[in-house]
Amino acid sequence: MLPRANEVEPGATDIAGGDIATFFDVSIDLLVIRDLRGIVVKVSPSWSTTLGYHPSEMVGRPLLALVHPDDLPVTWDSAREVETRRPGDPVRGQINRYRHKDGHYLTMEWRAQRRGDHVYGVARDVTARVAAEAELLAARTAAEAANRAKSDFLANMSHEIRTPLNGVIGIVDSLSRTHLDGGQTEMVGLIRESGATLERLVSDILDMSKIEAGKLDLELHPFDLEDALSAPIALNRGKALEKGLAFVVDIAPEACGTFLGDSTRLRQVVGNLLSNAVKFTAKGRIVLTAWITEDAEDQAFLSLTVQDSGVGFDEHQAALLFGRFNQADGTIARRFGGTGLGLSICRSLMRLMGGDIEASSEPGVGSRFSIKLPLPRVAQRAAAPRPSGVTARSPLQTDRPLRILLAEDHPTNQRVVQLILDGIGADLVIVDDGARALAAAMAGTFDVILMDMQMPGMDGLTATRAIRSHETLTQLRTPIVMLSANAMAEHKAQACDAGADLHVPKPITAAALLAGIETVLAG
């Protein structure tokens, strides 16, 4: 029997003499008291406004008769658990659907606790909230699917663009090494520069896509800092000298040595900063300064600045500088070209590596870009001295022509590799799919196998795995270089997992291909 309004059930607390009936009357939530058989003893008037039942219609009927049939099994389990708990045990929560008097269902969030021979429950209508959460989940799922589709599209487009671009850059590279007159040399140079710009654009868009998706992984390894900086410095020094600019490099002695980090991404950032400095400077000089500082815990930090005497930018333009597809103003793109992605990618890369990048400038005077990056120093080991009078010999310098198998389905790409390898007098065998590559590898002996990743029929990954499986029987292992327009990190990992020794992304130049072959031949 339900306690009277002025009574308190044993085990309950009379809060300042509060009246239970009044509490029921003012509650906007649904309050209910039922017995251990599940029969309703008392409900609040809010049942009428929420579910359409007058309190007199609820008293004496089983509460769970209103539960949606699909929710009934779990609701029964919850009810039994509440009933078997000891008085004062924690409140049990439950979300299920209750039938409104007019027939539709509302989603209710319940809390219940047993006191003596009764169960006290409170429920709140969360239909709108649950619907909003479902819509949000559906929207997030759709957005994730769209993002995956975008990433797949960009990866596929990268492959489709890089494949013909490989023909352009590879053939132009071979053409540049032939005898050309002045006009032809200029035209070849223009084609090469345009191809390089297009390749950089594809790489920037892919990098931005990976950063957005959180899929850009850093590759930490020991590297020599001077060596890492030498490539972007050499490339941009030549461009600066062509424009008549002074190019000054000041690397402090403490910045020399071996450090732990992602040298590839560091080169990318420094190369972008130097390239921008050269691009936006018509006269004067470019200055690169690098030094190492250490904090109280002996953590080393690389500080590097690139300063120019170029067009500069004001405070308003500076606020937009690191945004995507932004440049200092609209005239910059018209005068100098570019997508406006470079600095955004640089900042993202720096922050991924735990550092940051800042910029300061004065219009018409020049700009200064500064990076600070944690870069742990690695203990150096002395290199083994080379005996005097001994000259290192390249693995490409052999007493016989290198025998190389090329698996490539695209005729232009076949011709690019052929033109490059003609320069070293290689004995080249060409097949156009993975099955023929496997057959050739099983039938003959090769110094190196160059394997395209995507081919009709048996692809390069499958062929590589099959070749490695066959080699377990012969105990002879042939180096395999994967040549692929798929240039993302996961594609490199796939090549490695399949058994390839090296991944060389397209478009392929003579320098990249020959360096790759030399690397795998050197073991």
To the nearest 10 degrees (0 to 180), the angle between helices 510-521 and 411-422 is: 70
Is pLDDT at 406 greater than 90 in this prediction?
A: yes
Q: Going by C-beta distance under 8 Å and a sequence separation of 6 or more, which residues neighbour residue 162?
A: 199, 202, 485, 487, 505, 506, 507
Residue 440 predicted with pLDDT over 90: yes
* Rounded alpha-carbon distances, angstroms, from residue 438 to 405, 435, 467: 10, 5, 6
> Is 221-374's fold the same as 403-521's?
no
CA–CA separation, 176 and 453 (whole Å): 28
- Quote the CA–CA distance of 461 and 474 in Å, as a whole number: 20
> Which string of b and e fits 385-405 if b means at least 16 CB within 10 Å?
eeeeeeeeeebbeeeeebebb
The reported pLDDT for the residue numbered 489 is 67
Class of domain 221-374: alpha beta
DSSP 3-state assignment of 93? strand
Tokens of 507: 């478009």
What residue spans define the domains of the chain? 20-125, 144-213, 221-374, 403-521
Q: Is the pTM of this model over 0.75?
A: no
- Averaged pLDDT for residues 405-420: 90
Question: Which has more pLDDT, 439 or 163?
Answer: 439
Mean of pLDDT values over 453-460: 90
Strands 300-308 and 366-374: antiparallel
Confidence band, pLDDT 50/70/90 cuts, at residue 219: confident
pLDDT band of 3, cuts 50, 70, 90:
very low
Token pair of 237 as six digits: 């020094």
pLDDT at 393: 55
Element (H, E) at 419: helix 411-422
The CATH class of the 403-521 domain is alpha beta
Assigned CATH class of 144-213: mainly alpha
Tokens found for residue 426: 């290689």
Two tokens, residue 436: 């023929």
Cα distance between the two ends of the chain? 88
The class level of CATH for 20-125 reads alpha beta
Residue 303: pLDDT band by 50, 70, 90 thresholds? very high
Cβ neighbours, 10 Å, residue 410: 18
Report pLDDT for 117. Answer: 85
Q: Rounded to whole angstroms, how far apart are CA atoms 323 and 302?
A: 24
Is residue 370 exposed (0-12), middle (13-18) or buried (19+ Cβ within 10 Å)? middle
Confidence of residue 286 (pLDDT cuts 50, 70, 90): very high
pLDDT, average across residues 236-265: 90
